[in-house]
Amino acid sequence: MNATRIPRLPLAFSTLAVALLAAGVAQARDSLDGRIRVVNERMAPIQVSIDGDRLTRLGPGERRVFREVPNGVRLVRVHGPRGRHQDTSRVAVPIEGVAVHRVEARFGQATIVNDSGVRMRLVLDGRSMGVAAPGQKMESWPLAPGAYTLEARPADRAHRDGPALTRRINVRRGQQARYEVGAWYSRLEVRNPFPFAANLFVDGQRIDRVRPGATLVVARQVPGAHRVVFKRQGRVLAADTLRVAPGRVAVWRPVDVNRGDLRVSNRTRHPVKVLVDGRERGRLGAGQSRVFTDLDAGMHLVTLTRGGRTVDQQRVRVAAHGVAEMVARPAPPRRTPRRRDGQPAPLARR
């Protein structure tokens, strides 16, 4: 008995159908098509369309390859925020090749870092950026390429009258420029030249006791003028006024000179004129005392006069870095001589 043979026509038809479908797909794709690579060099997202096709979004710095683009000249349109049309470019697509189209940046941006140590109000070319806390970063709005002026002014009530910091900012197309405000507080660097420890005062406030020959750095000083003084036992050894700019260091190196002071006390009942080595140094009222500073160490002739007459005269030794004393006391009253008979002496003998 012969077995019945089953025909395989359905399988042959299936294979033929797959082959025809593949051939159709190959015919649908033209071998002459190319590709377009679009690069977004801007700092903001864009939307791109080719020959009016649907929009495709590209983020900042993103790139996208559009495949199966017919060769020839194609129109690439770029749209900005809210679909606003910005520009149109003609791109030549080579046969089975890749055309690159770069959407160039039109603006730049600046990032400002407040490293000043105080709250700063930032103003960029006259336009406020707001108040930045210490260490805070603030980004500007899109800026056209060029140079800008940044002004940083203290925003705290305690320092708002202080000087402002000014920086020059250069913005380039498609770049994020980073700038630091810079330190605002100043510093004082003071050296003690004396062979003994001395107290340092800044603007009348005692800072510290500085060892002989040591250097002391006084940080976080408000920019401007500062009065610096070295004292010892209440006596001024050296003094000066330092002017320091924001973020700068003012250096004070006083010279140790052999000078001292002289305190003169007028214990007489009349005002007197004080002369030191024949040079007038001032006047003293009755019972008044005064310290005359910056005298060379050594012997000095101190004279007190009244009405052109010498009231007292003494030689006083002034020690280096010391305070000498001179006390002018009233002269003892003159006794009138009398005769033995109890009668006053004649006028000619008085």
b/e map of 7-41 (b: 16 or more CB within 10 Å)? eeeeeeeeeeeeeeeeeeeeeeeeeeebbbebebb
Angular region, 298: left φ>0, alpha ψ -120 to 50, beta rest: left
Contacts of residue 155, Cβ cutoff 8 Å, sequence gap at least 6: 118, 119, 120, 121, 131
Helix (H, G, I), strand (E, B) or coil at 160: coil
Architecture (CATH level 2) of domain 109-180 = Sandwich (2.60)
Whether 242 contacts 225, CB under 8 Å: yes
Residue 154, both tokens: 């203290």
The answer for 53, left when phi > 0, alpha when psi is -120 to 50, beta otherwise, is beta
pTM, entire model:
0.59
The two tokens of residue 190 are 């003071």
The H or E element containing residue 304 is strand 298-306
Count the Cβ atoms, other than its own, within 10 Å of residue 232: 15
CATH 2.60.40.10 placement within the chain? 259-328
Fold of 259-328: Immunoglobulin-like (2.60.40)
Question: Which residues pair with residue 224 across a beta bridge?
Answer: 244
Rg (CA), the chain: 47
- Give me the CATH topology for the region 186-252: Immunoglobulin-like (2.60.40)
What is the distance between the terminal CA atoms of the chain, rounded to a whole angstrom?
189
Q: Report which of 293, 307, 285, 284 is spatially closest to residue 261, judged by C-alpha positions.
A: 293
Say whether domain 34-103 belongs to CATH 2.60.40: yes
Q: What is the pLDDT along the chain (350 residues), one digit of tens a residue?
A: 444 454 554 544 455 555 555 555 444 555 789 999 999 988 889 999 999 888 899 998 899 999 999 999 999 999 987 778 888 999 999 998 999 999 988 899 999 999 999 999 999 999 999 999 999 999 999 899 999 999 999 999 888 889 999 999 999 988 888 999 999 999 999 999 998 999 999 999 999 999 999 999 999 999 999 999 999 988 888 999 999 999 999 999 998 878 888 999 999 888 999 999 999 999 999 999 998 887 888 999 999 999 889 989 999 999 888 888 999 877 666 666 665 665 666 655 54
SS3 label, residue 81? helix
Name all contacts of 58-61 with Cβ < 8 Å and 24+ positions apart. 58/103
